[in-house]
Homo-oligomer: A and B are copies of this chain.
Amino acid sequence: MRTARVFRLSMAHPGDLSALEELIDRGTIRAAEVVAVIGKTEGNGGVNDFTRGYFTQTLMALLSRYLNRPVTQLIREIPCVLSGGTEGVMSPHYSVFCIADNATAERRFPSALAIGTAFSEPVPTEDVGRRAHVESVASAVREAIENARIERLDDVHFVQVKCPCVTAGRAAAAITAGKTPRTSDPNRSMAFARAAGAFGVALALNEIAPGDFDDESLLSDFSIQSPRASISSGVEVECNEVVVLGNSSAWDGSLRIAHRSMSDALDIGAIVDVLADLGIEARPQVAPAAAGRIACVLVKCEPDRRGKVRGHRHTMLDDIDINAQRHIRGAVAGLVAGVIGEGRIFVSGGAEHQGPDGGGLIAVIASQQKAGA
């Protein structure tokens, strides 16, 4: 049976993969087992955040060295999903997802963490944020679910997609070529790309039907949402990269995943509840021993478009000095880190259509405990 393992590693800067290198050198991880990486780098998370490209280049060069396969091939096989911006108490880190086949292992739990990945074709600039983009994502998500051998869609808990977006330069090039990008504004484009990703996940998970939306629904009809979609967007990718996480009886392993919707940026209850789903108590903070069971924390959040949080005006959307996504990441990470008791959490902004409007989602991977343990 297949076993999933997750290693959460710190970095000194976006080009520092020494922690992974050490684990490979020590034999803890075999390079061939690495199937995906999800991490937080210390950039600004915007169009001009190159910490993601820097990390990716370094990771792929490292794996290329160990695997003796060209970088150009690896970047089409191993999703590397990075969210820039470690505002406030967040700590730059990356989670390495590994799959091993351990034929002889005694079965420990009825089901366990399952991982699947997929890559779409490149998305043309003029498709970004439109139905063609949605369908491209949906198709890749379905492929990843199949790869993960997850039989029931209910057992999918987290679908990470990294979508390409439009820079000012790409937009200009498309226009010159007679195409009409959905927008030439890079930040706006990132938002449309995230919306397309969320619609694609919702479509693949049967949360919506193909007739439920058209191009105009993106960034407009916020009743359409997937509570299991986590979408990033960045200049450094050209196709949609997908990582599906769920639980499956086809997998053995000690890890398990759960998720909850966050109704808004103050929804501490969702954090406590998702931990409870995994048998971890927070009163008010997870005790150090239990915290050791937590392998990965994945959060999406969003500055409320309507300008208020629980009835009181916030200033995130009107701030010219700090991008609204940086604001909300810092706030929600402060809350999640306070409950969890540490800052190595993946909190990503831009949660349009990913969970309730103005809220988002939280997923946690933790080791299971045997009954009676």
Residue contact B44 to A313, C-beta cutoff 8 Å: no
Query: CA separation between A48 and B13, bound complex, in Å?
Result: 9
Residue contact A15 to B57, C-beta cutoff 8 Å: yes
Residue contact A343 to B312, C-beta cutoff 8 Å: yes
Contacts of A86 in B (CB 8 A): 314-315
Query: CA separation between A172 and B308, bound complex, in Å?
Result: 10
Q: Mark the stretch among A73-81, A200-208, A326-334 that contacts chain B.
A: A326-334
Minimum distance in angstroms from A266 CB to a CB of chain B: 5
Contacts of A21 in B (CB 8 A): none
Closest residue on chain B to residue A271 by CB atoms: B284
Residue contact B337 to A266, C-beta cutoff 8 Å: yes
Residue contact A318 to B91, C-beta cutoff 8 Å: no
A339 located at the interface, meaning its Cβ lies under 8 Å from any Cβ of chain B in the complex: yes
Q: What's the number of copies of this chain in the assembled complex? A: 4
Assess A92 versus B313: contact at CB under 8 Å? Given A285-B269, A320-B47, A330-B327: yes
Contact of A89 among B265, B323, B342 (CB under 8 A): B265
* Contact residues, A148-193 vs B (CB, 8 A): 167-169, 171-172, 184-187
Contacts of A42 in B (CB 8 A): 48, 50, 315, 318-319
Assess A344 versus B87: contact at CB under 8 Å? Given A57-B58, A186-B317: no
A109 located at the interface, meaning its Cβ lies under 8 Å from any Cβ of chain B in the complex: no
Assess A89 versus B331: contact at CB under 8 Å? Given A312-B10, A314-B343: yes
A45 located at the interface, meaning its Cβ lies under 8 Å from any Cβ of chain B in the complex: yes
Contacts of A330 in B (CB 8 A): 87-88, 327, 330-331, 334
A235 located at the interface, meaning its Cβ lies under 8 Å from any Cβ of chain B in the complex: yes
Closest residue on chain B to residue A58 by CB atoms: B57
A250 located at the interface, meaning its Cβ lies under 8 Å from any Cβ of chain B in the complex: no
Minimum distance in angstroms from A269 CB to a CB of chain B: 6
Minimum distance in angstroms from A359 CB to a CB of chain B: 12
* Contact residues, A246-274 vs B (CB, 8 A): 265-269, 271-272
12 A-B contact pairs sorted by A residue (CB < 8 Å): A10-B313, A13-B50, A46-B318, A88-B265, A91-B309, A92-B315, A168-B318, A266-B342, A269-B284, A312-B344, A331-B334, A334-B338
B-contacting residues of A (Cβ < 8 Å)? 10, 12-15, 42-51, 53-54, 57-58, 61, 86-93, 167-169, 171-172, 184-187, 235, 265-269, 271-272, 282-285, 305-323, 326-328, 330-335, 337-339, 341-344
* 6 extra A-B contacts, CB within 8 A, seeds A266-B343, A320-B326: A15-B54, A48-B320, A48-B321, A86-B315, A172-B308, A311-B342
